[in-house]
């Protein structure tokens, strides 16, 4: 018996233990390349290829930027790009990707400002440079199996530039930036908060590598007594899922 669902939580945990659960990726790189090559071949064999200023040249970056999209969404991005821009344009792909992530409840951006746009914070920027950027860009680090820091907590009162620093980091790394408010995680229904975290993890893994910025995460840092008295341990479970 095969069962297909977009929400695994609809199936009880007891039944899930008796089944083999398979979560296919939204799209693989080779699948997106096949779709792109097929569309390009069809365009070259159609009257559209004789229209002035229509270009169907593309590079590997366009295929890689399609991470996190379903095959249908990627195909839509390619076709919209050709008909709107008369070429395979990354900007159209980014716009389609942002629309797709918004439907899933998340905001995706490709920040244009880097560390050069931020005044001060020299020690913090140096920390990011030494322990993240250099590790990712260094071939020596890769040879030794060194990985950059994956979790960072920025602490400070509102308006001190925490979000701006995170956006600048995404720009320096050339990665998409996903911003999530902690209010998006907690839900009023039983199991909704855990389901939101799983959806966030799935989206982040599909778009990886990327920067995930969780705003007001201090709302998750409740005391041990609060776990018991207010939400039957929901906050503790959500926090543990995020830390994993």
3-state secondary structure 47-71: HHHHCCCCCCCCCHHHHHCCCCCCH
Which uninterrupted H or E stretch holds 128? helix 122-128
Give yes or no for residue 95 having a pLDDT over 80: yes
Beta bridge partners of 215: 181
Q: What average pLDDT score do residues 138-144 get?
A: 75
Predicted pLDDT of residue 204: 81
% of the chain at pLDDT higher than 90: 8
Which DSSP symbol is given to 220?
A: G
Beta bridge partners of 109: 177
Decide: 98 and 108 in contact? Cβ < 8 Å: yes
C-alpha separations of 180 from 7, 34, 106, 214, 235 in Å: 20, 33, 7, 5, 16
Predicted pLDDT of residue 227: 45
- φ, ψ for residue 195 (rounded to 5)? -65, -35
Most confident of 77-81, 149-153, 190-194: 77-81
Tens-digit pLDDT profile for residues 59-91: 788 888 888 888 999 999 998 988 888 888 888
What's the token pair of residue 135?
Answer: 């590790």
Predicted pLDDT of residue 14: 82
pTM: 0.70
Q: What average pLDDT score do residues 209-220 get?
A: 78
Of 42-51, 69-78, 128-137, 166-175, where does mean pLDDT reach its minimum?
42-51
* Other CB atoms within 10 Å distance of the CB of residue 18: 7
Q: What average pLDDT score do residues 131-148 get?
A: 78
- Binned at pLDDT 50, 70 and 90, residue 31 comes out as very high
Q: String of b and e for 82-99 (b: at least 16 CB within 10 Å)?
A: beeeeebbbebbbebbbe
Predicted pLDDT of residue 229: 46
N- to C-terminal Cα distance for the chain?
32
Predicted pLDDT of residue 201: 79
């Amino acid at each position: 018996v095969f069962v297909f669902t977009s929400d695994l939580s609809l199936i009880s945990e007891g039944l899930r233990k008796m089944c083999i659960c398979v979560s296919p990726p939204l799209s693989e790189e080779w699948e997106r390349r096949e779709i792109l090559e097929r569309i390009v071949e069809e365009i070259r064999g159609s009257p559209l290829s004789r229209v002035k200023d229509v270009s169907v040249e593309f590079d590997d970056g366009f295929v890689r930027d399609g991470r996190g999209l379903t095959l249908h969404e990627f195909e839509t991005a390619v076709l919209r790009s050709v008909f709107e821009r008369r070429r395979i344009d990354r900007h159209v792909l980014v716009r389609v990707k942002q629309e797709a992530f918004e439907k899933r409840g998340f905001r995706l951006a490709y920040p244009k400002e880097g560390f050069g746009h931020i005044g001060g914070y020299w020690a913090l920027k140096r920390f990011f440079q030494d322990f993240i950027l250099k590790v990712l860009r260094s071939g020596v680090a890769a040879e030794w199996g060194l990985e950059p820091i994956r979790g960072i907590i920025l602490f400070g009162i509102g308006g001190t530039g925490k979000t701006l620093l995170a956006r600048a980091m995404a720009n320096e790394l050339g990665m998409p930036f996903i911003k999530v408010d902690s209010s998006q995680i907690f839900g009023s229904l039983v199991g909704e908060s855990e389901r939101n975290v799983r959806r966030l993890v799935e989206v982040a893994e599909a778009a990886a590598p990327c920067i995930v910025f969780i705003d007001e995460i201090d709302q998750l840092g409740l005391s041990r007594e609060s776990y018991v008295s207010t939400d039957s341990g929901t906050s503790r479970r959500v926090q543990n899922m995020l830390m994993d």
